[in-house]
Structure 1
Amino acid sequence: MQNLKQLGLHPEQMLADLPAFMNRIIGFADEIGISLSSYTADHIALRVNSQDIALELHQAWLAYGTEWSKAIINGRPIVVIGFDTPLQVGEWMIEALELPYPSDKVYPQQGWEHVEFVIPGNAMSLEQLEQSINSTFPALHWQQLAEKGIKVKASSPAGEHERLPNPTYAFKKDNICIKLHSHSLAAVIASEKE
Structure 2
Amino acid sequence: MKREEAELFVRKGVHFLQSCGLPISEWSIDHLCYRVETEERYFSMKNALENEGKLLIESKIGGRMISSFLLNQPFEIAQWTIPVLELPAPKQGAAYPEGYDHFEVVVPFSLEKLIKNFPDLAWDTSAINKAHNREIRLWINDWQSVKFHEKSLADCIAQELGG
Q: TM-score, normalised by structure 1?
A: 0.75
Equivalent residue in structure 1 for 2:146, among 178, 183, 193 = 178
In structure 2, do the counterparts of structure 1 residues 114 and 184 end up closer, same or farther at CA, with 3 Å as the change threshold?
Answer: same
Q: Does 1:113 align with 2:101?
A: yes
Equivalent residue in structure 2 for 1:93, among 78, 81, 100 = 81
Would the aligned equivalents of 1:33 and 1:141 in 2 still touch at CA under 8 Å? no
Report deviation, 1:30: 2.4
Distance 1:115 1:31 in 2: 17
State the partner residue of 1:168: 135
State the partner residue of 1:188: 156
Q: Which has the higher helix share?
A: 1
Would the aligned equivalents of 2:30 and 2:82 in 1 still touch at CA under 8 Å? yes
Distance 2:3 2:82 in 1: 12
SS of 1:189 mapped into structure 2: helix
Equivalent residue in structure 2 for 1:130, among 101, 106, 112 = 112
Report deviation, 1:19: 1.9
Distance 1:177 1:134 in 2: 16
Report deviation, 1:157: 4.9
Q: Work out the percentage of aligned pairs sharing the same amino acid.
A: 25
Structure 1, residues 42-90: CA drift from partner, whole Å, max 9, x if none? 0000112210111111111222101000011111111001111221111
SS of 1:93 mapped into structure 2: strand
**Which runs of 5 or more residues in structure 2 are unaligned?**
none
Equivalent residue in structure 1 for 2:124, among 129, 152, 156 = 152
Distance 2:152 2:126 in 1: 17
Equivalent residue in structure 1 for 2:13, among 3, 15, 25 = 25
Distance 2:130 2:85 in 1: 17
What is the alpha-carbon root mean square deviation over aligned residues? 1.8
Aligned length: 159
Distance 1:115 1:77 in 2: 18
